[in-house]
Chain A
Amino acid sequence: MATVELRGLCRTFGSVVALDHLDLKVHSGEFVSLLGPSGCGKTTALRIIAGFEWPDSGEVLVEGQDVLGQAANKRNMGMVFQAYSLFPNMTAQQNVEFGLRVRKESHEKRARRARELLELVGLASAMDRYPRQLSGGQQQRVALARSLAIEPRVLLLDEPLSALDAKVRVQLRAEVRRIQLELGITTLYVTHDQEEALSISDRVAVMSEGRIEQLGTPAQIYSGPRTAFVANFVGTMNKLEGTVVSLEDRIVRCGPLLLQVPDPTFNHPAGEKVELFLRPEDISIGLLSNGDKPAPGLFEGRVTSLTFLGPVTRVGLETDIGPLMADVSSAVALGLAADTVVAVKLDSTSLRSIAR
């Protein structure tokens, strides 16, 4: 099983910097997602690893060996493209067998392996169908089987589910992860869908403008964003603006409220303006009877919008510390309407700040 290491990858297209000194170490058997908006360089990085692009400078090491000197067809990696990659003049079985055919494997061995892999992706019944007879989801499964047939040391996936329906996407991503775990194959997965990345990866590299903003486990990325970009890109974040009152006690004044930042590494000096981040699910709401004032530690808020999201409802609030979004169970939200005044409570243990 293979480790993959990217060192100082740089690539510029004309005046656009696609990759800016990218460094990444992927451990053997690990599933790492490259997550970011279009143009952040994630696909470029993947294509460089696969051999379809070359960097201006930097190294790509697989199992410690530099692969940049190898042509794409010699690197023994499996790649799944976003769409249209199945050969139209071959059946599913023939597609899967292709890599083995090129390696001059025997007819029986090819057929056996093709059957094995198509069963693995749940499409043994479609062996004799042509790509145009398969749905999008089925085509991608065959593409996956095809890439695994050659027993690659690394699996690369370039937004493999982006062209599929939402429901199929959710199903298929779980399967991709299941197969990856079963085979223990080192995997790099490019996507712009943060839910996808967070749900199936061992680690996620959030990218922007050619560099990695943060690399960590899904939990770390979600709960502990280290930059404003990551905070805003991954999930929804409430942004609170305030001024530091005391560095030692980590107190920040936001409007009329005094909030304590839980992170012990908080390093902004007194008087400095900072941004604090809080997830909608860390804000709770209580109904107020007419004329009541909120209990101490809580503050007032006025409902400005209600967005039904299924299990939760996102409540837009206008408060003294600025606009907020709170995720509230839909059952509770039934009692709310625009302009309702509510009591708002922040879970200050979840407050995050970006280090200086």
Chain B
Amino acid sequence: MAQVTAVAQARPSSHRFRRAANRVPVWHVIWLVIAALVFLVPIYSVVQFSLVGIGPGQSPFHWYLTVFDDPMFRSSFWLSIQISLETVAVSLVLMVPTVFWVHLRLPWLRPVMDLISILPFVVPPIVLVVGLLPFLKNITWLFVRPEVLSLIYVVFALPFLYRALDAGLRAIDLRTLVEAAESLGAKMPRTLLQVILPNLRAAIIGGSLLTVAIAMGEYTVASLLEFSTFPVYTYTIGTTTAYEGVALSFISFIFVWGAMLALYLLGRGGRGAAAVAITDYN
């Protein structure tokens, strides 16, 4: 039988060394602080810079009020929202059935799809616009409608949406679900809609949020095609009046923060197939 001896006194040395082992080396703290500064100082500066009253008796929110009063603010923001939603709609209608179909019937196409999903990175927005412009100029009816931006943004969002959907489909046992539905008499469209889509909800929402973030923030194509989306508006206003530009930046920041927060909360509840937007698409 084991000998049970009296409880030993808590030894200072073991405590000391456990604390020592868990002590974070100075260097790590320094890097974390530097990174925190890199992230937070610009935001602080934006807030500070934009809350400057330019004269006695002027509210510190002067620039925000000016901006909100501007009808162009509302119309450009609204335009961007519309374009984003259109982009999401077209992307989903295009991508969801396609990725579903590839996973189900054409698994040998997966490598091709993976390759295509990388292509938009090889062709940055500025390059794509150069290639599209002459072609689009000839289709005047489309060229002047903002919908053309949505169609282009679908390409930019492609890698992220594909990744999200691909991951989401890999996480569910697609074949079994489809065969089960078929054996119960469901045809393909119904199967897709009622069986698969609910299971892909997280991936779809995550991918859509990223698409919205990309579309709301895209500047390059919008400016070169001369549409007054929100980023273009911000640029125009900001290069004239820096204070307003900075105020608009803060509004953008809040918006992006909100979208990412939604994404994060989504990712917490269930299979977060959310990818991270990784490229400066502006």
CA distance A226 to B15 in the complex (A): 35
Closest residue on chain A to residue B8 by CB atoms: A8
Complex partner residue of B18 from A23, A54, A66, A226, CB under 8 angstroms? A54
Q: Which of B1-32 contact A (CB under 8 A)?
A: 1-11, 13-18, 21
For A54, the chain B residues whose CB sits under 8 A away are 14-15, 17-18, 21
Docked-complex contact A214 and B17, CB < 8 angstroms: no
Docked-complex contact B17 and A21, CB < 8 angstroms: no
Size of the B side of the interface (Cβ < 8 Å), in residues, is 18
The reply on A92 being an interface residue by CB < 8 A is no
Shortest distance between the CB of B242 and any CB in chain A (Å)? 52
* Contact code string A44-61 (vs B, CB < 8 Å = 1, else 0): 000000000111111100
Docked-complex contact A23 and B4, CB < 8 angstroms: yes
For A21, the chain B residues whose CB sits under 8 A away are 4-5, 7
For A212, the chain B residues whose CB sits under 8 A away are 2
Docked-complex contact B3 and A58, CB < 8 angstroms: no
Docked-complex contact A68 and B4, CB < 8 angstroms: no
The reply on A129 being an interface residue by CB < 8 A is no
Q: Which of A7-64 contact B (CB under 8 A)?
A: 7-8, 10, 21, 23, 53-59
For B1, the chain A residues whose CB sits under 8 A away are 214-215, 226-227
The reply on A102 being an interface residue by CB < 8 A is no
The reply on A211 being an interface residue by CB < 8 A is yes
CA distance A7 to B17 in the complex (A): 18
Docked-complex contact B11 and A23, CB < 8 angstroms: no
The reply on A69 being an interface residue by CB < 8 A is yes
For B10, the chain A residues whose CB sits under 8 A away are 56-57
CA distance A71 to B22 in the complex (A): 12
For B2, the chain A residues whose CB sits under 8 A away are 23, 205, 211-215
CA distance A71 to B4 in the complex (A): 28
* Contact code string A192-213 (vs B, CB < 8 Å = 1, else 0): 0000000000000100000111
For B3, the chain A residues whose CB sits under 8 A away are 23
For B14, the chain A residues whose CB sits under 8 A away are 54-58, 68
CA distance A71 to B9 in the complex (A): 21
Closest residue on chain B to residue A230 by CB atoms: B1
Docked-complex contact A57 and B7, CB < 8 angstroms: yes
CA distance A12 to B254 in the complex (A): 44
Docked-complex contact A57 and B9, CB < 8 angstroms: yes
The residue in A10, A54, A212 that gathers the most chain B C-beta atoms within 10 A of its C-beta is A54
Shortest distance between the CB of B21 and any CB in chain A (Å)? 7
CA distance A212 to B2 in the complex (A): 6
The residue in A10, A53, A58 that gathers the most chain B C-beta atoms within 10 A of its C-beta is A58
CA distance A214 to B17 in the complex (A): 31
For B15, the chain A residues whose CB sits under 8 A away are 54
Closest residue on chain A to residue B13 by CB atoms: A69
Shortest distance between the CB of A71 and any CB in chain B (Å)? 7
Docked-complex contact A66 and B5, CB < 8 angstroms: no
Docked-complex contact B8 and A7, CB < 8 angstroms: yes
Docked-complex contact B8 and A68, CB < 8 angstroms: no
Docked-complex contact A57 and B17, CB < 8 angstroms: no
Docked-complex contact B8 and A69, CB < 8 angstroms: no
Complex partner residue of A58 from B4, B8, B18, CB under 8 angstroms? B8
For B21, the chain A residues whose CB sits under 8 A away are 54, 71
**6 A-B residue pairings within 8 Å (CB atoms):** A8-B5, A8-B8, A55-B14, A58-B8, A59-B11, A69-B13
Chain B residues packing against A (C-beta within 8 Å): 1-11, 13-18, 21
Q: Assuming A8-B5, A69-B17, what are 16 further A-B pairs, CB within 8 angstroms?
A: A7-B5, A10-B7, A21-B7, A23-B2, A23-B3, A23-B4, A54-B14, A54-B15, A57-B14, A58-B8, A68-B17, A71-B17, A205-B2, A212-B2, A214-B2, A215-B2
